[in-house]
Structure 1
Amino acid sequence: MDFSARYVALGDSFTEGVGDDDAARPNGVRGWADLTAEQLARGNEGFGYANLAIRGRKLRQVMAEQVDAAVALKPTLVTLYAGANDILRPKVDIDSLVEEYDAGIARLSATGATVVLFTGFDSRNSKVFATTRGRTAIYNELVREVAEQHGALLVDYWRFGEYNDPRMWAQDRMHMSTAGHANMAKRVLAVLEQDDAIEVPALAQQPEASRAEALRANARWVREFAGPWVVRRVRRRSSGDGLRPKYATLTRPLSLPVIP
């Protein structure tokens, strides 16, 4: 497939790149979308990449804030994942959300761009997030219908068994690690039928933790990550408050030389 010169990535923390820290980049993160753009840009001097995703955004926010901005950039390729932050809320109307999702995908598809969508991850092995598994399964079926109706490509995250390995996740247990993001970039490029030269970092050996060590690790996770997340929900605040998109306009992927 030929994606010409304009790739625009939409969504929340998943697409912004949270979990793959890089102080040299805007918002301090890299992520799978940056890696994907860098691969697509090789050999294409006119390639431009925009990433409008912001952590903490819910689906309706993504549709309202990012879709029109993406259309204005005249993309030839769009990736979009949104909905995980809604699924984690105490109450959610998934059917209503996906109606708005469908309308946004229709707008993006009408540009003629190749559109890539994602299912949600199967959290069956997570002691914390397994309770949302049923919601995610319903969301995924609706996303598959939207993809079929609009001729979008689908990255079926639900079926990626490698993410059952805790080393594919960052310390917050909510976002992919550097290895997880690199692997996701390879998965996306495979759906696009593109070759890549991405190396997934080797996963370090993890000795089995004792019960006491596991309890200490869980307590630290609650203190450093889960607790602050709950506080933000209670205060109706978001981790993305005050943040701007990493790349609001088309730019050259960071790892490649700028073309004069």
Structure 2
Amino acid sequence: MKYQRFVALGDSCTEGLDDLLPDGRYRGWADRVASVLDAPGFRYANLAVRGRRLDQMLVEQVPSAEVLEPDLVALFGGGNDVMSGASCGQIARRADAMVRAVTSFAPTVAVFTLSDISQRMPFAWRMRPRIEALNDAVRVAAVRYGAILVDVADDECVRDSRYFGPDRLHLSSLGHRRLAGHLLSALEIPFDSSWMAPLDGVAAPASLFDHLRWLRDQVLPVACSRSRNKLIGRQPGDGFRAKRPQLLPLA
């Protein structure tokens, strides 16, 4: 099928964090998918805003997406719901509401599961039940509302640190490329097979020093920033705009 109006929804992963272009802008899996879909008449919008939860996307991104009348929507989100401490029930209801809303106006909708970040982060095992609740809800909603499921939860790459950025949460360029490949495969659209090729060798296991440096450089600054924002009533993502708010030619 030929798609002409592609809209991506989500958070920092959909924005493309840790997939840097030479000029400092972010690329990401959605841009990579758009580059494959690109053809005369093709238009692409990316409404992602870093830090946003699913319930925020529902009221901020979904109405904007509906106005654009897309023929393809890809939704990647839920990570911030998991990390914000929402209950399993809240996360499941938010995921269902998002998929129901988007499928009500877009003829083709693709949704993603999340990989288990607790495998890459010390002490993150507490988030595993919420990740499982999110993924279960996404799978059920995909069947219920007729969305295409891109189930990457058990992808073999989730245990390879080379697919993730320094914070072990966001995808690296390799990870964004692979995620784009998974979506294009689900849509049955040909693409460069090297995007899914296994990496050579095995990633070196993280040492105790690596874990301590990760805590110092990645975890503590984010924790401090979130605490400050909470004190002043600021939500993650406040002040940021959608990456690509209008349907425009890729170039």
TM-score strictly above 0.5: yes
Distance 1:158 1:202 in 2: 17
The answer to whether the aligner puts 1:110 opposite 2:104 as a matched pair is: yes
- 2:244 partner letter: Y
Distance 2:203 2:154 in 1: 27
Distance 2:238 2:17 in 1: 15
Q: Residue 115 of structure 2 is aligned with which of 98, 118, 121? A: 121
CA RMSD, 1 decimal: 2.3
- Whether the 8 Å contact between 2:12 and 2:49 is mirrored in structure 1 is yes
Q: Residue 229 of structure 1 is aligned with which of 222, 227, 232? A: 222
The answer to whether the aligner puts 1:40 opposite 2:37 as a matched pair is: yes
Distance 1:18 1:182 in 2: 13
- 1:36 partner letter: V
The answer to whether the aligner puts 1:145 opposite 2:145 as a matched pair is: no
Distance 1:240 1:229, change over 3 A: same
CA drift of 1:93 comes to 2.4
CA drift of 1:227 comes to 0.8
The answer to whether the aligner puts 1:251 opposite 2:248 as a matched pair is: yes
Q: Normalized against structure 2, the TM-score is what?
A: 0.88
CA drift of 1:63 comes to 1.0
CA drift of 1:126 comes to 2.2
Q: Identify which range, 241-250 or 199-208, moves more after superposition.
A: 199-208
- Whether the 8 Å contact between 2:19 and 2:26 is mirrored in structure 1 is yes
Once the two structures are superposed, what CA deviation does each residue of 1:59-112 show, in whole Å capped at 9, x if it has no partner?
1111111000000000000011221111112x3123234334333322321224
Quote the sequence identity (%). Answer: 36
The answer to whether the aligner puts 1:242 opposite 2:219 as a matched pair is: no
2:176 paired residue number: 181
The answer to whether the aligner puts 1:8 opposite 2:11 as a matched pair is: no
- Whether the 8 Å contact between 1:11 and 1:52 is mirrored in structure 2 is yes
CA drift of 1:23 comes to 5.1
- Whether the 8 Å contact between 1:182 and 1:199 is mirrored in structure 2 is no
The answer to whether the aligner puts 1:63 opposite 2:62 as a matched pair is: no
CA drift of 1:206 comes to 7.1
Q: Normalized against structure 1, the TM-score is what?
A: 0.85
Structure 2 unmatched runs, 5+: none
Distance 1:207 1:195, change over 3 A: closer
2:70 paired residue number: 75
Distance 2:203 2:133 in 1: 36
